[in-house]
Amino acid sequence: MHEFRYEGTKLYCEGVPVETLVRKYGTPLYVYSEETIRAAYSRLDKAWEGLPHAICYAVKANSNLAVLRALADLGAGFDIVSGGELQRVMAAGGDPARCIFAGVGKSEEEIRAALKAGIYCFNVESEAELERIDAVGRKLRKKAPVALRVNPDVDARTHAKITTGTYETKFGIPFEKIRRLYAKAAGMKGVKLRGLQMHIGSQLTSVEPFEAAVAKVAPLAAELAEVHGIEFFSIGGGIGIVYRPALASGDPKWWFSPEGRRMITAEAHAEALRPHLEPLGLKIILEPGRFIVGNAGILVTRVEYVKQVGNKTFLIVDAAMNDLIRPAFYDAYHEIVPVEKKARRTVVANVVGPVCETGDCFCRDRMLPRVGEGGFLAILSAGAYGSVMSSNYNTRPLPAEVMVRGKRHALVRERQPVEAIWALEKPASWQESATKRAKRK
């Protein structure tokens, strides 16, 4: 469900025509709907009503301060994967005591900072990391709260680049080794055992892999609660969203995958897992990223040229793979719609960006409404893993970002000035500086 829809011929975000935003802020432009974020959070929260739970938003999906603030105001916790993300959460007014720290490569520096900030828990991904956290804890004379991340070896049946719950990946600790490591951790002076964690992958479109993993791990959680007194079981994130057709995804009849399978929903996810989790008496933690922000953002772009090559039509737009890498990186599908629906005529086209890569392509041979030079297109469902993965490739400044609430809109990230891209660079000490060189000439 989201707040992007047509009123007459114009695409709106909540109460604001998207065209108003591009006229004011330019393109490429990320537009976020605060109400969509709030609604997704509340919907998930409600699905778990009656069972003690916490929602720790996965910051890596979209870490804009305004997004984090909106979630902090709703009472969310945060799932962070770096020291930088912890600082961001704190800068946005989030509570470190509601942060869980995941990731396979936490540095000593990051561990120290997080322990000093008083985070809720470290989700530990290896024995070596456990030892390092223990050492930092002893040095600071604190007991670092930890949960071990169990790898249940269950295939999430999603894209290979976002599968994390099998032994083919770098994530977590093999199921068979977990008990021994809990016993070891229980004897450490620098840590205290607080929970158990797992996360099997991202963009899961059905509940079955979740159910298989939870069914496998729940008895272990029960045992660890009894033996080590852990207080929570985090079942990770990964709930998929509807990308196709995104505009219609407010309507339940569209909750089917292109192959006709029933799409996952927050309610179906909770319903399937509750019977396994309720008897545990543990606090359940959810770590959704994409589910909260995926459909809450769009990337708006301007058509620069319409290029005909043989019988192919290329719409060359001013956004590129450096702004939104998902199609190039994950073969992801994003629905593309016009900001103003004028023409009834359609065109079969490739929408491509200006970057010098063949992979810089948002869609191939897609039937689209005819849009000419200067027209605006909206790439939908770009709220998660969009802006956060953007780069300066081809010395392209990072796009501006706008948040909408009702009829109000605010710039929540300024368009990056082009000079900022090389502001930290300089010629080597033995090279002549640009100013000196200019003077000499």
Ligand X SMILES: *Cc1c(COP(=O)(O)O)cnc(C)c1O
Beta-strand relationship, 121-124 and 77-80 = unpaired
Q: In whole angstroms, what is the distance from residue 414 CA to residue 53 CA?
A: 36
Task: Report which of 276, 40, 287 is spatially closest to residue 164, judged by C-alpha positions.
Answer: 287
Task: Report which of 293, 295, 351, 354 is spatially closest to residue 327, judged by C-alpha positions.
Answer: 351
Tokens of 259: 């192959």
The secondary element (H helix, E strand) that includes residue 39 is: helix 34-47
| 248 touches 307 (CB < 8 A) | no
Among 38, 199, 334, 396, binds ligand X (CB under 6 A): 199
* Residue 130 Cβ vs ligand X, minimum distance, rounded to whole Å: 17
Tokens of 198: 């797992």
* Contact call for residue 102 and ligand X (CB under 6 A): yes
Residue nearer to ligand X on the CB measure, 1 or 316: 1
Task: Report which of 290, 301, 191 is spatially closest to residue 240, judged by C-alpha positions.
Answer: 290
Q: In whole angstroms, what is the distance from residue 5 CA to residue 27 CA?
A: 20
* Contact call for residue 290 and ligand X (CB under 6 A): yes
* Contact call for residue 165 and ligand X (CB under 6 A): no
| 12 touches 18 (CB < 8 A) | yes
* Residue 340 Cβ vs ligand X, minimum distance, rounded to whole Å: 32
Q: In whole angstroms, what is the distance from residue 148 CA to residue 215 CA?
A: 18
Answer left, alpha or beta for residue 114, where phi above 0 means left and psi between -120 and 50 means alpha: alpha
Q: Which residues contact 390 (CB under 8 A, 6 or more apart)?
A: 322, 323, 324, 325, 398, 399
* Contact call for residue 34 and ligand X (CB under 6 A): no
* Contact call for residue 61 and ligand X (CB under 6 A): yes
How many residues touch ligand X (CB under 6 A)? 18
* Contact mark string toward ligand X, 358..387, x via CB under 6 A: --------------------------x---
Among 11, 58, 196, 300, binds ligand X (CB under 6 A): 58
Q: In whole angstroms, what is the distance from residue 388 CA to residue 323 CA?
A: 9
Q: Which stretch binds ligand X (CB under 6 A): 65-73, 125-133, 272-280, 282-290?
A: 282-290
Q: Which stretch binds ligand X (CB under 6 A): 30-38, 58-66, 186-194, 220-228?
A: 58-66
Residue nearer to ligand X on the CB measure, 16 or 380: 380
282 φ, ψ (degrees, to nearest 5): -100, 155
* Residue 295 Cβ vs ligand X, minimum distance, rounded to whole Å: 12
Q: In whole angstroms, what is the distance from residue 321 CA to residue 309 CA?
A: 21
Q: Which stretch binds ligand X (CB under 6 A): 40-48, 112-120, 130-138, 285-293?
A: 285-293
Residue nearer to ligand X on the CB measure, 12 or 32: 32
Among 38, 53, 60, 106, binds ligand X (CB under 6 A): 60
Q: Catalytic residue at 356?
A: yes
* Contact call for residue 79 and ligand X (CB under 6 A): yes
Q: Which of 56, 356, 361, 363 is catalytic?
A: 356
Calculate the CA 143 to chain-centre distance: 30
Q: Which stretch binds ligand X (CB under 6 A): 4-12, 126-134, 198-206, 253-261?
A: 198-206
| 314 touches 353 (CB < 8 A) | no
* Residue 381 Cβ vs ligand X, minimum distance, rounded to whole Å: 13
* Contact call for residue 289 and ligand X (CB under 6 A): yes
Binding to ligand X (CB under 6 A) within 210-249 occurs at 236-239
Among 287, 318, 360, 401, binds ligand X (CB under 6 A): 287
* Residue 19 Cβ vs ligand X, minimum distance, rounded to whole Å: 30
Residues that bind ligand X (CB under 6 A): 58, 60-61, 79, 102, 199, 202-203, 236-239, 287-291, 384
Point out the residues that are catalytic.
356
